[in-house]
Amino acid sequence: MGNSLFKLTSLNLNGIRSASSKGLQDWLAAERPDCICVQELKAQAPDMAGRFEHLAGLDGHFHFAEKKGYSGVGIYSRHTPSDLRVGFDGGEFDAEGRYLELRFDSPQRKLSLISAYFPSGSSGEERQQAKFRFLAAIRPHLLALAREREFILCGDINIAHQEKDLKNWRGNQKNSGFLPEERAWMTNLLDGRSPEGHLVDVYRQLQPDTTDACYTWWSNRGQAYANNVGWRLDYHLATPATAALARTEAIYKGQKFSDHAPITLAYDLTL
């Protein structure tokens, strides 16, 4: 990736302490992204103090869950934001630490970077219903935001959109993450014909047909990682004009920092 491009990484950490113990900071120092959006901090402010406010020269900003050791998102950036927004719904999901938006506005442009962690419904029907409530709440928020400003949302969406986005799609059609309702939600969000507006799946804009190479998450059960029985759950979703600035993409699988792989896209933009 060229040094002139803006490198933006997304990674579900499955715990910042765990990911750091597996070499995350050395990798960031070598890769030098301009910004990394992280999910599942599994930490609170006292856990971060003196240890994780900064990573490899990047300054951190966070949205912690109220529940200890649960959820939480962050954004580490080389650039100082003009503003930040913590949370989006003022209620159920803000308490779970699922949304952080950094704004990098100038007289010429309004631009946001968002780190988001969508709920998983895999633990049972109660959490699946929470996931549906989250999807219903965040879609109008994102579409309203897109009418006001450019943005890139990075995050663990916990939805594999199409059959090519997971290995065993036939056997997962009744499982959370590949339910028809979830996939339809994603299709609607990406529908360029929608009068409400739409977002762009930036990875798929650059790599429309990849299958095995696109996965970003593997179950810890069995030999899923060794056999590349994976899912594409981690996305860059962007407003159309900003998505058009994407030039390169990379999913790093050289080391395992968590059960997710970092996905980095480079954009022809400056903050």
How much of the chain is helix, strand and coil, in % rounded to 5?
25, 25, 45
Catalytic residue among 156, 165, 201, 234: 156
CB of 84 within 8 A of CB of 100?
yes
Q: Is 208 helix (H, G, I), strand (E, B) or coil?
A: coil
Q: How many CB atoms lie within 10 A of CB 244?
A: 13
**Pairing of β 217-218 and β 230-231:** antiparallel
Give the pair of three-digit tokens for residue 79: 């650039």
Q: Is 264 helix (H, G, I), strand (E, B) or coil?
A: strand
For residue 156, indicate whether it is catalytic.
Answer: yes
Beta strands in the chain (DSSP E): 6-12, 35-39, 54-55, 58-63, 73-77, 83-86, 99-103, 111-117, 150-156, 200-201, 217-218, 230-231, 234-238, 246-251, 263-267
Please, what is the Cα angle at 163 between 231 and 12, to 5 degrees? 20
Could you list the active site residues? Answer: 156
